[in-house]
Homo-oligomer: A and B are copies of this chain.
Amino acid sequence: MNERQPARRPGGRSARVGAEVHQAVTDLISERGYGNFTVGEVAARAGVADSSIYRRWGSLESLLTDVALTRLNAQSPMPDTGSLAGDLRAYAANVAREITGPDGLALLRLVIALSSMGQQGLQARDDLLDERTRQLQSMLDRARERGEPAPDAFGVLDHILAPMYIRVLLGRGPLTPDYVDGLVDRLL
Q: Residues on A close to B: CB < 8 A?
A: 108, 111-112, 115, 122, 125-126, 129, 154, 157-159, 161-163, 165-167, 169-172, 183
Instruction: Indicate if the CB atoms of B162 and A165 lie closer than 8 Å.
Output: yes
The minimal Cβ–Cβ distance linking A68 to chain B, given in whole angstroms, is 13
**Identical chains bound together, number:** 2
Nearest B residue to A125, CB-CB:
B171
Chain B residues with CB under 8 A of A166: 157-158, 161-162, 165-166
Q: Can you offer 12 A-B residue contacts whose CB atoms are under 8 A?
A: A125-B171, A129-B171, A157-B163, A157-B172, A158-B159, A158-B163, A158-B166, A159-B159, A162-B163, A162-B166, A165-B166, A166-B166
Chain B residues with CB under 8 A of A172: 129, 154, 157
Instruction: Indicate if the CB atoms of B157 and A115 lie closer than 8 Å.
Output: no
Chain B residues with CB under 8 A of A111: 169-170
Q: Is the interface of A mostly helix, strand, loop or mixed?
A: helix
CA distance A122 to B154 in the complex (A): 31
Chain B residues with CB under 8 A of A154: 172
The minimal Cβ–Cβ distance linking A34 to chain B, given in whole angstroms, is 13
CA distance A165 to B172 in the complex (A): 15
Chain B CB within 10 A, most for which of A161, A162, A172:
A162
Chain B CB within 10 A, most for which of A157, A158, A167, A171:
A158
